[in-house]
Chain A
């Protein structure tokens, strides 16, 4: 769970209608969803961002709807981790269920767009060009979830054990 990449900065209350506008929700294809990620506030975002880049944001990232299309679109761009001051709760569950890692930290106040940062998610460590920051620890339950390959892998194993029955 170590990453390093360029920072893309977004402010407070980035909602799911911004992350992926509702008119694209007729799609479930990850590539299509990714190509419209953040479109209402930055039309070029999906073109500028490269796999491995990191989103850094303010408070309440992912507020709004329960659409899992939001973490799917972010992951579709190859962004492995989002660091924000806080996250909306449904987005938080959805992200971890899908394998997108979220860290709570105020890195936003200490980096510029385009900065390279290093993240050790398990240790809750974030290194910018001039300082080392700590994020709130990811709850052990969520780490377990990510390490077992997300909620669906856990379910798949459970079903294999129990012979396909719910």
Chain B
């Protein structure tokens, strides 16, 4: 019996020829990540077990991206604690201040994740790196401590659901629409404990930025990881980033799947997830009477250059109406700089947007755009749970960049054709 790409990566990292779903294995990890929320807990655990070293200081990364630039004294002290710890243990991959970006956009950009890697992160959207053909999954702080100290972690080998996508993409539709459509179809626990594997002609046409969005939100379907195969698009993306060798894995033709789902992407329109679940998905056309107080374009799902490009194209020469806040958050300093060079930042400023430094900020109701009672936002982020962006009686709708930009101009949920 053959293996899926996920099974192969896990087998290789646990020194086995063959693994199968359900099996518990201990795998070597190539990278362990934590942020300003989860690292402090991990560090407390590290101290409790009286560990003295991490397995490899160069394979540990701290990204201080959630409540930064520090929103209050406690946030500042948490960051301070992480930086002191890193200094003491010789961990150099610490990102704060002007070199900080949202972790899941930053790590691939810096070439810290390679195909075939096993990556754990104390952040649920660690699954984003599956876009590069890596096995990447979110864990809690205790698991992370274990991984940081030993360089290994136990995993249950997941079953895999294979999504075979074909057909021609419609205008404005991106990876975000594909993943929202899938979550709408299978539900927020539709891939619980499973791997989601994305293949097919339509997938190979997707840009890297769109693939990151898809892999990113696999956790919103309950998945352990989302994964893509390495192709020319991946290799091209990695060209100037590769600092170390990597191994490419691929699913065998006779691999075993829990389920194989075929999708015609030509049937997928612009998708919006309504409050309060990412699976409450509707076509944008059904929602064009929903007024908005805030639009956020950013996050580890859609704060990349492709997203800003789409938004800028739509907003060019237009104005945000009075009473609406539109907050644009380039996900990394690198993306910010490119957006500046390409003129997108100017388009946004002229339209009346607020440009935030790279941060998670409003995505988790942290800062930089928290909602008041009864306020309603549309965001390119990934979660719209009760109170996610602020007050428990506020509402969040989720979409891709095109709908977000058009909605910002119209002051209500809108289709991009309405403004172009």
Contact = CB atoms under 8 A, between A and B. Distances in A.
Contact of B189 (A27, A60, A67, A158): A60
A40 interface: yes
Given A23-B365, A89-B224, A155 B140 contact: no
Contacts of B122: 66, 68
B131 interface: no
Contacts of B75: 26
**Chain B facing A: main interface SS:** loop
Interface string A46-86: 00000000000001100111111101000000000000001
Interface stretch (B45-53, B259-267, B411-419): B45-53
A151 B144 CA distance: 11
A40 B387 contact: yes
B52 A63 contact: no
**A interface residue count range (under 10 / 10 to 19 / 20 to 34 / 35 or more):** 35 or more
Interface stretch (B4-12, B34-42, B321-329, B335-343): B34-42
> Which of the listed residues A41, A65, A98 has the most CB atoms from chain B within 10 Å of its own CB?
A65
A92 to B, nearest CB: 8
B222 A89 contact: yes
Interface in A89-110: 89-90, 93-94, 97-98
Given A60-B189, A152-B145, A97 B140 contact: yes
Given A67-B140, A166-B148, 20 more contacts: A13-B189, A18-B385, A22-B364, A28-B44, A63-B188, A65-B364, A66-B140, A67-B38, A68-B140, A88-B222, A93-B139, A97-B142, A139-B24, A141-B154, A155-B150, A159-B149, A164-B50, A164-B53, A165-B52, A165-B53
Interface in A113-164: 139, 141, 150-152, 155-156, 158-159, 164
Interface in A13-40: 13, 15, 17-18, 21-23, 25-28, 39-40
B54 interface: yes
Contacts, number: 147
Contact of A151 (B143, B151, B156, B192): B143
Nearest to B141: A68
A2 to B, nearest CB: 25
A57 to B, nearest CB: 12
B38 A27 contact: no
A27 B150 contact: no
Given A90-B138, A93-B139, A165-B52, A64 B383 contact: yes
Contacts of A39: 392
Interface of B: 24, 37-38, 40-41, 44-45, 48-55, 66-67, 72, 74-75, 78, 121-124, 126, 138-143, 145-146, 148-151, 154, 156, 188-189, 192-193, 219, 222, 224, 277, 364-366, 383, 385-388, 392
A69 B50 contact: no
B395 to A, nearest CB: 13
A155 B49 contact: yes
Given A86-B189, A155-B145, A23 B366 contact: yes
24 contacts: A13-B188, A15-B383, A15-B385, A17-B385, A17-B387, A22-B366, A25-B66, A25-B67, A27-B74, A28-B44, A40-B387, A66-B122, A66-B126, A66-B138, A89-B224, A90-B219, A94-B139, A94-B142, A97-B142, A155-B146, A155-B150, A165-B52, A166-B54, A166-B55
7 closest A-B pairs (Cβ-Cβ)?
Answer: A94-B140, A26-B74, A68-B140, A60-B189, A97-B142, A22-B364, A40-B392
Contacts of B24: 139, 141
Contacts of B156: 139
B388 A17 contact: yes
Contacts of A63: 188-189, 222
